Amino acid sequence: MNSGALPSPANLTLRDTVTADDVTVVRQLVASTGFFSAGEVEVAVELVTERLHRGPESGYLFLFGDCDGHPVGYVCYGPIACTVGSFDLYWIVTRQDRRHAGIGTFLLYESERRMAATGGRAVYVETSSRPQYEPTRRFYERRGYRQAALLPDFYAPGDGKVIFAKNLLSRPASPAP
């Protein structure tokens, strides 16, 4: 990492390889948050499975954070087909008992750095408009994302899709924690 990067939380090690064990890792991490339905947990697992079966051709890139040998978070992102330098951030999850320790922020900034290093110019994130997701929306806003769109009733009546965007070309060298 360059000298302007956000320092890693204590004892956090990163890996970007995906193994068969990560099917269970992702299932446990996503379920631990208490935010997601069983169906949503399975969608997260499907992305790991797709990466295992198709490799880089899947378009899914992963970055896992481990503390003291135990998985504590991960991010899944990938380039958006038919665009020049646009990326989707599909999942970012920190184990419930490790939230508010800077792990999610570090994983987010590191994935942004990696996107930019491969020609990424913009990243997009989708989340729910339900009140339960207010902390998630604030998380992105505090890290330089802006709401780009709101699609009312997208997921269900009263549950809209909020799309956030961030320009990677104008990121500060040292993001604020």
The tokens describing 22, both together, are: 């990560």
Residues 99-147: tens digit of each pLDDT: 866 889 999 999 999 999 999 999 999 999 999 899 999 999 999 999 9
Residue 114 to residue 171: CA distance in whole angstroms: 13
Residues 59-68: tens digit of each pLDDT: 999 999 998 8
pLDDT number for residue 95? 80
pTM: 0.88
**Residue 12, class by beta-carbon neighbours within 10 Å (0-12 exposed, 13-18 middle, 19+ buried)?**
buried
Residues 14-61: tens digit of each pLDDT: 999 999 999 999 999 999 988 888 999 999 999 999 999 999 999 999
The tokens describing 144, both together, are: 């330089």
Domains and CATH numbers, the chain: 12-170 (3.40.630.30)
